[in-house]
Amino acid sequence: MSGNQTLNDVVMPQLAESLVSATIAKWLKQPGDTIEQYEPICEVITDKVNAEIPSTIEGVMAELIAEEGQKVDVGQIICRIAVTTAATSPSTTEVNTSGNVQRVVESASANASVGDTSMRNRYSPAVQTLAAEHNVNLQAVQGTGMGGRITRKDVLAYVENAASSRSEVNNTVQSGKESQSPFQGLPHANPAVSPEQYIQASPAATRNQSGLHMTETPKIPTVEVEDSHGRSETLIDVTPLRNAIATNMRQSVSEIPHAWTTIEVDVTNLVLLRNKLKDEFKRREGYNLTYLAFLLKAVVNAIKDYPIMNSVWAVNKIIVKRDINISLAVGTEDSVMTPVIKQADQKNIAGLAREIEELASKTRQGKLKLDDMQGGTFTVNNTGSFGSILSYPIINYPQAAILTFESIVKRPVVINDMIAVRSMANICLSLDHRILDGVICGRFLQRVKENVEGYTLDTKVY
Amino acid sequence: MAVMEYIDAIRLAMKEEMEKDENVFILGEDVGVKGGVFTTTKGLQAQFGEDRVMDTPLAESAIAGVAIGAAMVGMKPIAEMQYCDFMLPATNQIISEAAKIRYRSNNDWNCPIVVRAPIGGGVFGGLYHSQCAESIFFGTPGLKIVAPFTAYDAKGLLKAAIHDPDPVLYFENKKCYKMIKGDVPLDDYTVPIGEANMLREGSDITVIGYSMPLHFCLQAAEELEAEEGITARILDLRTLQPLDKNAIIESVRHTGKVLIVHEDNKTGGVGAEVSAIISEECLFELDAPIMRLCSPDVPAMPISPTMEKFYMLTKDKVKEAMRQLAIY
List the one residue out of A195, A218, A198 whose CA is nearest residue A206.
Answer: A198
The b/e string for B109-139 (b: 16+ C-beta within 10 A; e otherwise) is ebbbbbbbbbbbbbeebeeebbbbbbbbbbe
Q: Cβ(A432)–Cβ(A401) under 8 Å?
A: yes
Interface test with A, best of B227, B255, B322 (most A CBs within 10 A): B227
Could you give the number of structural domains in chain A?
3
A155 and A248 within one domain: no
d(CA B313, CA B213) in angstroms, rounded, equals 7
Counting Cα atoms < 13 Å in the Cβ hemisphere of A114 gives 7
Question: Do A448 and A330 lie in a common domain?
Answer: yes
Residues B255 and B292 both lie in one domain: yes
- The total number of structural domains in chain B stands at 2
Contact (CB<8Å) B288/A209: no
Q: Of A125, A153, A206, which has the smallest distance from its Cβ to B286's Cβ?
A: A125
Q: Are residues B228 and B123 in the same domain?
A: no
Residue A163 located in a structural domain: yes
Residues of B in contact with A196 (CB under 8 A): 229
* Average pLDDT, integer, range A414-421: 91
Residue A180 covered by a domain: no
Q: Are B207 and B217 in contact (CB under 8 A)?
A: yes
pLDDT above 50 for A119: yes
B327/A108 Cβ within 8 A: yes
The residue segments making up the domain with residue A153 are 108-172
The reply to whether B192 falls in a domain is no
CB atoms closer than 10 angstroms to residue A423 = 17
Count Cα neighbours of A116 within 13 Å in the Cβ-side half-sphere.
13
- B156 near B253, Cβ under 8 Å? no
Among the three residues A157, A172, A187, which one is the final residue of a domain in this structure? A172
pLDDT band at residue A208 using 50, 70 and 90 as cut-offs: very low
One-letter identity of residue A378: F
Q: pLDDT digits over B190-202, tens only?
A: 999 999 999 999 9
From A139-143, A212-216, A370-374, B299-303, the region with the lowest mean pLDDT: A212-216
Q: What is the pLDDT of residue A96?
A: 42
- Residue type at B136 in one-letter notation: I
Task: Give me the residue from B228, B229, B327 closest to A145, CB to CB.
Answer: B327
Q: How far apart are CA A350 and CA A353, in angstroms?
A: 5
Q: Note whether residue A190 is domain-resident.
A: no
CA A417/CA A410 separation, integer angstroms: 18
Average pLDDT rounded to a whole number, residues B105-116 = 96
Per-position DSSP letters for A242-261, written without gaps between them: HHHHHHHHHHHHHHS-EEEE
pLDDT band at residue A314 using 50, 70 and 90 as cut-offs: confident
For residues A146 and A246, state if they share a domain.
Answer: no
Q: Does B73 touch chain A (CB under 8 A)?
A: no
Highest mean pLDDT among A61-65, A71-75, A352-356, B204-208: B204-208
Q: If pLDDT is split at 50, 70 and 90, which confidence band does A224 have?
A: low
B interface test, pick of A124, A130, A199 with most B CB neighbours within 10 Å: A124
Closest Cα to residue A260, out of A147, A155, A392?
A392
Integer Rg of chain A from CA: 34
Task: Please report whether residue B191 resides in a domain.
Answer: no
User: Are B226 and B276 contained in the same domain?
Assistant: yes
- Using one digit for the tens of pLDDT, what is the confidence trace for B229-263? 999 999 999 999 999 999 999 999 999 999 999 99
Q: Could you tell me if A294 and A388 lie in one domain?
A: yes
Side chain identity at B211, as an amino acid letter?
S
Rounded to whole angstroms, how far apart are CA atoms A338 and A399? 12
* pTM value > 0.80: no
Residues of A in contact with B206 (CB under 8 A): none
pLDDT score, position A181 = 41
Mean pLDDT estimate for chain B: 95
Q: How confident is the model at residue A166 (pLDDT cuts 50, 70, 90)?
A: low
- Shared domain check, A369 and A447: yes
The predicted structure's pLDDT at residue A231: 65
For residues B20 and B169, membership in a common domain is answered with: yes
Compute the distance between CA of residue B106 and CA of residue B88 in angstroms, rounded to an integer: 28
Q: Of all helices (H) and strands (E), which one includes residue A126? A: helix A125-134
Residues in chain A: 462
Amino acid at A92: T
B55-62 contacts: CB < 8 A, separation 24 or more?
B55/B28, B55/B29, B55/B30, B55/B31, B56/B27, B56/B28, B56/B29, B56/B31, B57/B29, B58/B29, B59/B89, B60/B86, B60/B87, B60/B88, B60/B89, B60/B90, B61/B89, B61/B90, B61/B92, B61/B93
Judge whether B154 and B212 are in contact, CB under 8 Å: no
Domain termination site, one of B124, B154, B184 = B184
Any domain includes A183: no
In a domain, B313, yes or no: yes
Q: What are the distances in angstroms from CA B156 to CA A58, B39, B149, B164, B184?
A: 52, 19, 11, 12, 9
Could you report how far apart the first and last alpha carbons of chain A are, in Å? 62
Give A34's strand partners.
A60
pLDDT above 50 (res B268): yes
d(CA B315, CA A98): 12
Q: Which long-range contacts (CB under 8 A, 24 or more apart) does B296-304 make?
A: B296/B265, B296/B266, B297/B265, B297/B266, B297/B267, B298/B265, B300/B126, B300/B127, B300/B130, B300/B131, B301/B121, B301/B125, B301/B126, B301/B127, B301/B130, B301/B131, B302/B126, B303/B124, B303/B126, B303/B127
Quote the domain boundaries for residue B39: 2-184
Count of CB atoms situated within 10 Å of the CB of B295:
20
Q: Residue A146's closest chain B neighbor by CA?
A: B328
Nearest residue to B212 (alpha-carbon basis) of B241, B184, B236, B244: B236
Contact residues, B window 24-53, toward A, CB-based 8 Å cutoff = 43
Could you tell me which of A331, A330, A356 has the C-alpha nearest to residue A341?
A: A356
Q: Among A147, A172, A197, which residue terminates a domain? A: A172
Which amino acid, one-letter code, is at A281? F
Q: What is the spatial distance between Cα A49 and Cα A376, in angstroms, rounded to a whole number?
A: 14
A431 and A345 housed in the same domain: yes
Higher pLDDT, A110 or A426: A426
Q: How many CB atoms lie within 10 A of CB A113?
A: 18
Task: Classify each residue of A429-444 as buried b or exposed e, where b means 16 or more C-beta atoms within 10 Å of its C-beta.
Answer: bbbbeebbeeeebeeb
The residue-averaged pLDDT of B255-283 equals 96
Q: How confident is the model over A327-366, as pLDDT tens digits?
A: 999 888 778 889 999 999 999 999 999 999 999 988 888 8
Whether residues A196 and B229 touch (CB distance < 8 A) is answered with yes
pLDDT above 90 for A199? no
Yes or no, beta carbons of B287 and A104 under 8 Å apart: no
Last residue of a domain, one of B134, B149, B184: B184
- What was the ipTM of the complex prediction? 0.79
Banded pLDDT at A45 (limits 50, 70, 90): confident
In a domain, A423, yes or no: yes
Q: What is the pLDDT of residue A206?
A: 37
pLDDT over 60 at B208, yes or no:
yes
Residue B142: the pLDDT is 96
Query: Is the domain of B111 the same as that of B72?
Result: yes
Tell me what pLDDT residue A16 has. 61
A75 burial (CB, 10 Å; 0-12 / 13-18 / 19+) is exposed
DSSP characters for A63-121? EE-SPTT-EEETTSEEEEEEEE-SS--THHHHHHHHH-HHHHHHHHHHHHHSS--TTTT
Check residue A233 and give its pLDDT: 77
- Percent of chain B past pLDDT 70, that is, above it, reads 100
Residues 88-107 of B with CB under 8 A from A: none
Alpha-carbon Rg for chain B, nearest whole angstrom, is: 19
Strand residue runs (E) in A310-441 = 311-314, 317-320, 326-331, 336-337, 340-341, 378-381, 401-415, 418-432
Please report the pLDDT score of residue A222 as a whole number.
54
Assess if residue B234 is contained within a domain. Answer: yes
Q: Which residue has the higher pLDDT, A25 or B151?
A: B151
Helix B315-327 vs helix A101-113: angle between axes, to the nearest 10 degrees? Answer: 10
Are the Cβ atoms of A98 and B316 closer than 8 angstroms?
Answer: yes
| Contact between chains at A152 and B229 (C-beta distance less than 8 A) | no
| Residue A29 resides in a domain | yes
Whichever domain contains B8, its CATH number is: 3.40.50.970
Coil vs helix vs strand at A163: helix
pLDDT classification of A230: cutoffs 50, 70, 90: low
Chain B neighbors of A145, CB-CB under 8 A: 327-328
| A184 has pLDDT over 50 | no
Residue A386: which pLDDT band, with cuts at 50, 70 and 90? confident
One-letter amino acid of B112? P
Same domain, B117 and B210: no
The Cα–Cα gap between B76 and B163 comes to: 8
Shared domain check, B114 and B9: yes
Please, are residues B132 and B120 in contact by the beta-carbon 8 Å criterion? yes
Which residues of A carry out catalysis? Answer: 433, 437
Mutate to test the interface with A, among B48, B255, B327, B328 (most CBs of A within 10 A): B327
Q: Distance (Å, rounded) from C-alpha B80 to C-alpha B55? A: 10
Asked if A197 and B328 come within 8 Å (Cβ–Cβ), the reply is no
- Do B179 and B210 reside in the same domain of the chain? no
The reply to whether B101 and B137 lie within a common domain is yes
Higher pLDDT, A19 or A341: A341
Q: Are residues B98 and B216 in the same domain?
A: no
Q: Which residues of A touch B284 (CB under 8 A)?
A: 125-126, 128-129
Say if residue A130 is in the same domain as residue A50. no
Rounded to whole angstroms, the Cα distance separating A391 from A378 reads 17
Pair type for strands A340-341 and A326-331: antiparallel
pLDDT at A333: 78
Specify which residues B24 forms β-bridges with: B76
Q: Does residue A239 have a pLDDT over 60? A: yes
Check whether residue A42 and residue A115 sit in a common domain: no
Q: Is residue A429 part of a domain?
A: yes
Q: Which of A165-169, A396-400, B43-47, B175-179 has the lowest mean pLDDT?
A: A165-169
Question: Are B257 and A146 inside 8 Å of each other by CB?
Answer: no
State residue A236 phi and psi, 5-degree precision: -110, 125
Q: Which of B184, B211, B239 is the last residue of a domain?
A: B184
Instruction: Give the CB-side neighbour count of residue B22, counting CA atoms within 13 A.
Output: 2
Task: Judge if B34 and B158 occupy the same domain.
Answer: yes
| Strand bridging mode A49-54 / A40-46 | antiparallel
Q: Which long-range contacts (CB under 8 A, 24 or more apart) does A157-164 make?
A: A157/A190, A157/A191, A157/A192, A158/A188, A159/A130, A159/A134, A160/A191, A161/A188, A161/A189, A161/A191
**A358: CATH:** 3.30.559.10
In this complex, do A153 and B316 lie within 8 Å of one another by their Cβ atoms? Answer: no
Give yes or no: residues A60 and A119 share one domain: no
Q: What is the mean pLDDT of the segment spanning A197-203?
A: 40
Per the domain annotation, does B212 fall within a domain? yes
- Let me know whether A25 and A45 are in one domain: yes
Mean pLDDT of A175-199: 42
Lowest-pLDDT choice from A173-187, A268-282, A427-441: A173-187
Which residue type does B127 have?
A: L
**Residues A288 and A166 placed together within one structural domain of the fold:** no
Claim to verify: residue A62 and residue A156 sit in the same structural domain? no
Residue A217 in any domain: the answer is no
Residue B55 touches partner A, C-beta closer than 8 Å: no
Q: Is the pLDDT of residue A443 over 50?
A: yes
Specify the pLDDT at position A168.
55
Summarize pLDDT for B17-50 with one digit per residue, the tens: 999 999 999 999 999 999 999 999 999 999 999 9
Residue B309: CB atoms within 10 Å:
11
Q: State the Cα–Cα distance between residues A355 and A48, nearest whole angstrom.
A: 19
- Spell out which residues of chain A touch residue B279, defining contact as CB-CB under 8 Å: none
CATH of the domain at A32: 2.40.50.100
Of the candidates A146, A209, A316, the beta carbon closest to that of B327 is on A146
Residues on chain A bordering chain B, Cβ-to-Cβ distance under 8 angstroms: 98, 101, 104-105, 108, 111-112, 124-129, 145-146, 149, 151-153, 194, 196-197, 200, 206, 209-210, 316
Provide the pLDDT for residue A165.
Answer: 73
Which residues lie closer than 8 Å to A375 by C-beta, 6 or more apart?
Answer: A323, A325, A340, A342
Domain termination residue (choose one: A172, A188, A210): A172
At B207, phi and psi to the nearest 5?
-115, 130
CB contact under 8 A, B327 and A111: yes
